[in-house]
Amino acid sequence: MQRYQLSNIYATLRDAIRGQRWPDASQALGQAVGLSLPGTPAPAEITRAAMRKLRPQLSYRGFKPAELAMVAHGIKSVVKLEDIPVADAAQFAVARPGWSVTLSSTYRKDYLLLRSRPCPATDREAMVSIYCSRGDMGRELSQLETASREDSQRAATLLEIPQCCAAAFAADFDTARRDQDTVNDDACRRVLATTSPSLPGAWQCNPLADTELLGFYPCSCQCPSALQRAEQVLSRLDTAQQQHARQTLRRPALYFRLPFFATMQGTWQDDVLRFTDFGINAFGHPLARTAQALLAAHLQPWLDGSDGMVVRDGALRLYRGMREIKALDIVGDHAPVVTCWTDDSEKKP
């Protein structure tokens, strides 16, 4: 699948969902996630999947506990909080004495492409980014990001992103040709692909939940600098938040592309993920949520009947015990990624 086609594929997906043309929607969804999706679920199956198999994990809306902790404890000199509803941002701005708070212009988000576009503050879906700093650095960062050509190195320096991680994201930006449709997906895929059964990633570097601890994409899930920052932030969360972060970030994931992925309850045996449950990431936005429910409806019959999975030889292969029961062919350039995390569940928060 060529990069420039993604917006066209999503346009087809949107139109088909709005018109309830489920065969067309399924075909477009398969192109988007890079997987051959056999058949078309009935509308009732999509509804049941939405009730049983959607699991809100990564919302792209509202405050994240880790970012609030960064501000509350002064972990960084500049903290950027993205996708905050306008009313919530106004309340935040008046309740931070000692911090300089700058708000971006208002925008709304496309919850499939994850692209933002300007909108009036009266728009019911209007959001802003908040630049919170000691001194004028937050205002400087805001000015950098509203300029026609952002100084990514300066922005990374202001946000105190480790140099290795900033360089990796800059390379993602260049690879994507500064295309918003693909850069976040490229970065997320690169990070997740650094995990494997032989080299599990640190779950503290997992970007696939609102409980993520970094606020940036690390260069790898074994990056010492990123892990040090994540542990620093984790230590400043309250006990309930720490437990929730451990629960959500330690789940293995089957990642297709943003915003489509599933998380599992499972463990690794050799290179096969053995799992007992799965949930598809779910947004609050109705159209995106319907697309995610459609993916859940396609995968549910096969994943419910399986206890193991592996991506191998051009297919997502599903197992029951030692027997392969289904191979869903991979189409396009990007194979799904199955993540492997370190298991330190015995550590105390």
Listed in sequence order, the residues at least 6 apart from 11 whose beta carbon sits closer than 8 Å to its beta carbon are: none
Q: What confidence score (pLDDT) does residue 178 get? A: 57
Q: What predicted TM-score, i.e. pTM, was given to this entire model?
A: 0.92
Q: What confidence score (pLDDT) does residue 180 get? A: 58
Residue type, position 113, single letter: L
| CA–CA separation, 36 and 328 (whole Å) | 6
3-state secondary structure of 241: helix
Q: What confidence score (pLDDT) does residue 347 get? A: 47
Q: What confidence score (pLDDT) does residue 173 get? A: 79
DSSP 147: S
Token pair, residue 71, equals 């501000």
3-state secondary structure 17-57: HHCCCHHHHHHHHHHHHCECCCCCCCHHHHHHHHHHCEECC
Q: What confidence score (pLDDT) does residue 179 get? A: 58
With contact defined as beta carbons under 8 Å apart, do 17 and 28 qualify?
Answer: no
Q: What confidence score (pLDDT) does residue 106 get? A: 96
- Beta strands 260-269; 253-257: pairing state: antiparallel
Q: What confidence score (pLDDT) does residue 175 get? A: 75
3-state secondary structure of 312: strand
Spell out the per-residue pLDDT of the chain, length 349, in tens: 344 478 889 999 999 999 999 999 999 999 999 999 988 999 999 999 999 999 999 999 999 999 999 999 999 999 999 999 999 998 988 877 778 999 999 999 999 888 889 999 999 999 999 999 988 899 999 998 887 566 778 889 999 999 999 999 988 877 766 555 678 888 999 999 999 999 999 999 999 999 999 999 999 999 999 999 999 999 999 999 999 999 999 999 999 998 999 999 999 998 999 999 999 999 999 999 999 999 999 999 999 999 999 999 999 999 999 999 999 999 988 899 999 999 765 444 4
